[in-house]
Structure 1
């Protein structure tokens, strides 16, 4: 099992829309998340900085393949098309990232 933490900005004028979208995530999107071996997935909002922090546990054996599977899914692509305009990627993210990866520095179970 791998844990992942990521961060991205949230456009201030899109906060209410983002919360509304995530209060009723499309069932097909939730099913794809599960099909891609992701468990305990959460997104947190820090205001007034308007930062989104996501945490997930990956329970599969090939993270890159599962992420490619998710990215190829038409319903997930539709979901991203409505969510991404709400987000503001960090300038410090890696070239191939939308959400910036974070280093885990502590975990206690």
Structure 2
């Protein structure tokens, strides 16, 4: 199982709405993530907007491709893009660059 961690930056003026949106993620989006192989997926948000994402999957590139092929992901990414800083024209899920794991205690 591959463990993946990534960082994004949520705009400070949108933090509360970002939290609200993730308290009610669309059921079809949750289903798509699960079917695409995203497991144990968590998002952690710091008060300054730093967002840390963590997930486990067999193959992250394949899991990303599977999500990119869904219509619900396109809708979700379009709605969520306005919440983030420094995406440089990419959708949020395209801007996720995995961090390099340097230590793990199983």
TM-score range, shorter chain: 0.7 to 0.9
Matched-pair contact (CA < 8 Å) for 2:2–2:60: no
Matched-pair contact (CA < 8 Å) for 1:11–1:86: yes
The residue aligned with 2:21 is 21
The residue aligned with 1:63 is 60
1:26 & 1:51 partners in 2: Cα distance?
23
Matched-pair contact (CA < 8 Å) for 2:43–2:51: yes
CA shift for structure 1 position 107: 1.6
Identify which of 95, 98, 103 aligns with 2:100. 103
The residue aligned with 1:82 is 79
SS in 2 for 1:25: coil
For structure 1, the 5+ residue unaligned runs are: 92-96
CA shift for structure 1 position 99: 2.0
4+ residue runs over 6 A deviation: none
Output the aligned Cα RMSD: 1.7
Matched-pair contact (CA < 8 Å) for 2:38–2:63: no
Number of residues of Structure 1 aligned to a counterpart in Structure 2 = 101
CA shift for structure 1 position 98: 0.7
2:28 is aligned with 1:31: no
Using structure 1 for the length normalisation, give the TM-score. 0.83
